[in-house]
Amino acid sequence: MSLFKFRLQQVLDIREQSEKHAAAQLADAEAAADEARVAQRALETIQESGSQALHMAHAGEPTIGQLKTLGYVIDQLNHHIADAQTRVVSAEQTVSEKRTGLTAALQARRVLSRLRERHFTTWRTADNAEQMRQMDELALSRFVRRDDNDNSGAAGE
């Protein structure tokens, strides 16, 4: 009865580490994408309040300087929002790439895990057969000894 040893265990361990690393990278990328989305929403909220202020200023008697300032601020916010949208798209692309990497790492590990399970099943079957053979030999040797003892006892009488 020997212990099970999978020859590719080190490779499986490396694949598991790779999978964990890919999962951590995906989590980091998703966190960065969430932060980019939050920043974009915050800028959009500020832009909406600036637009409302511009409309309210038009309702009153604003000066040209005030209108120009509000227009400039809204224009700058629009540029910041465009930059934020670019960062969100980039972050989402990174998330997609990391998700693809994680999927590949999962598949690579699963292949080796299934191979390990098959090898273990084969080993267990062979080990059980060996144990049964040993038990049969033991039972046969006991039977032969008992038969020899019965025959020697009958011959002595």
Contact 18, 108 (CB under 8 A): yes
DSSP code string of 11-49: HHHHHHHHHHHHHHHHHHHHHHHHHHHHHHHHHHHHHHH
Of the candidates 84, 19, 79, 92, the one whose C-alpha atom is nearest the C-alpha of residue 50 is 79
Higher-scoring residue by pLDDT: 146, 39: 39
- pLDDT at 157 > cutoff 60: no
Give residue-wise pLDDT tens across range 84-122: 999 999 999 999 999 999 999 999 999 999 999 999 999
| Tokens of residue 123, six digits | 């080993």
pLDDT of 47 reads 84
Average pLDDT, stretch 36-53? Answer: 87
How many beta carbons lie within 10 A of that of residue 127, not counting itself?
15
User: Any idea where the domains of the chain sit in the sequence?
Assistant: 9-119
Contact 9, 116 (CB under 8 A): yes
pLDDT of 153 reads 62
pLDDT of 61 reads 76
Among the residue ranges 19-28, 67-76, 127-136, the one predicted with the least confidence is 67-76
| Rounded distance between C-alpha atoms, residue 51 and residue 103, angstroms | 44
User: CATH: 1.10.287, 3.30.230, 1.10.3470, 3.40.50. Which one for 9-119?
Assistant: 1.10.287
Half-sphere exposure of 33 (CA within 13 A, CB side): 17
